[in-house]
Chain A
Amino acid sequence: MAFDATSEISDDALMVLYANGDRPAALALAQRITPRVLGYATRLLGGDRAEAEDVAQETMLRLWRTAPSWRQGETKVTTWAFRVATNLCIDRQRSRRRKGQVALDDAPEPVDGGPGAEGRMQDGQRMVALETALATLPDRQRQAVVLRHLEGLTNPEIATVLDIGVEAVESLTARGKRALAAALSGQRDALGYKDDRDAD
């Protein structure tokens, strides 16, 4: 099968194709799932890019090993991957805490696009502020907010990832958003939101 032909195929079907030795399916799955897991892990780990890459690679490694016994229709591949990544991130956060490290040093990647250099710089500042604010949230709230608002998962999917009920997810995301707003409350002007609204 040609690599281009895989764009219409579901993740589930790609897993089956991968398990049957289809190379384009392997490449397509790697390109679909890896960026999402990396983004999620980066935000859970406070922007620590190196650790997030390790988590992404380990998650994908487990995905390849699981593929031969994958059951279509039971769980979405992305949900499964987020769940594995969540557990790996929790392990690393515990390890960090044992070592007494606080890893908030890594700034997010520069943001591409935008109206110009000034806009990109402001977007970059906003991303740094968001990463910093996210890092202040309790782990469960951070996981729920990232999955809901940055990865676009539904509440039932988040419930599966975090192994909790849907009502608990709603509670976590609501409290997480309130905590984020509080953490960013003093930076509204610095992040240019007042200027944006004045311009409108």
Chain B
Amino acid sequence: MQTSDLDDLLALAAMHPPAPSAALMNRVTADALALQPQSLTVSRAAVARPGLWSRLVELLGGPAAMAGVTSAALFGIALGYLDPTTVDILALGQGVDQAETEAVDFFPSVDFLMTEG
């Protein structure tokens, strides 16, 4: 066979490749869809904005800071409502009389240095 005849024959074969059957295409397509990774979708729940309370807690520095602020606020309210006597007791200690407070002179021997004349 001449080269040109062979080239013609190969060109003819190239133009008429074996066609895949419908069954093969169905199997290949089914495999493709079964193995295809799922598309990445962003759900509403994933991007939902935090509530007002959560944002306030975060604004103040988180739950630990919020606990400190709450404790201080409660203590302040308690001080406001308590009887002043009770506050004195809390501030100075029960049974301590201000009149009994002693004055201590740490440098008694240097008074003459402060005298004029």
Residues of A at the B interface (CB closer than 8 Å) are 18-23, 26-27, 29-31, 34-36, 38-39, 42, 49, 52-53, 56-57, 60-61, 64-65, 67-68, 108-109, 111-113, 123, 126-127, 129-130, 145, 149-152, 177, 180-181, 184-185, 187-188, 191, 193
Q: Which residue of B lies closest to A47 (CB)?
A: B18
B5–A188 contact, CB under 8 A?
Answer: yes
A26–B33 contact, CB under 8 A?
Answer: yes
Q: Given known contacts A38-B24, A188-B5, is B19 in contact with A68 (CB within 8 Å)?
A: no
A21–B40 contact, CB under 8 A?
Answer: yes
Between-chain CB contacts (< 8 Å), 18 pairs: A18-B32, A21-B36, A26-B29, A27-B29, A27-B32, A35-B18, A35-B19, A39-B17, A39-B18, A61-B31, A61-B35, A64-B31, A65-B35, A109-B19, A111-B16, A130-B10, A152-B14, A185-B1
Q: A53-B21, A60-B32, A108-B18 are in contact. List 4 more A-B contacts (CB 8 A).
A: A18-B36, A26-B33, A53-B24, A127-B12
A130–B9 contact, CB under 8 A?
Answer: yes
Chain B residues positioned under 8 Å from A129 (CB to CB): 9
A52–B18 contact, CB under 8 A?
Answer: yes
Partner of B28, one of A18, A36, A56: A56
Residues of B at the A interface (CB closer than 8 Å) are 1-3, 5-6, 8-10, 12-14, 16-21, 24-25, 27-29, 31-33, 35-40
Q: Given known contacts A39-B18, A61-B31, A109-B19, is B25 in contact with A31 (CB within 8 Å)?
A: yes
**C-alpha gap A33/B2 in the complex (Å):** 33
Chain B residues positioned under 8 Å from A18 (CB to CB): 32, 36
**C-alpha gap A17/B22 in the complex (Å):** 24
Chain A residues positioned under 8 Å from B40 (CB to CB): 20-21
Per DSSP, are chain B's interface residues mostly helix, strand or loop, or mixed? Answer: helix
B6–A64 contact, CB under 8 A?
Answer: no
Chain B residues positioned under 8 Å from A152 (CB to CB): 14
Chain A residues positioned under 8 Å from B8 (CB to CB): 193
A21–B32 contact, CB under 8 A?
Answer: no
Chain A residues positioned under 8 Å from B39 (CB to CB): 20-22
Q: Which residue of A lies closest to B24 (CB)?
A: A53
Partner of A57, one of B12, B14, B31, B37: B31
Partner of B16, one of A21, A38, A67, A112: A112
**C-alpha gap A42/B17 in the complex (Å):** 9
Q: Which residue of A lies closest to B14 (CB)?
A: A150
Partner of A23, one of B9, B21, B27, B36: B36
Chain A residues positioned under 8 Å from B13 (CB to CB): 126-127, 130, 150
B25–A187 contact, CB under 8 A?
Answer: no
B29–A42 contact, CB under 8 A?
Answer: no
A177–B20 contact, CB under 8 A?
Answer: no
Chain B residues positioned under 8 Å from A188 (CB to CB): 1-2, 5
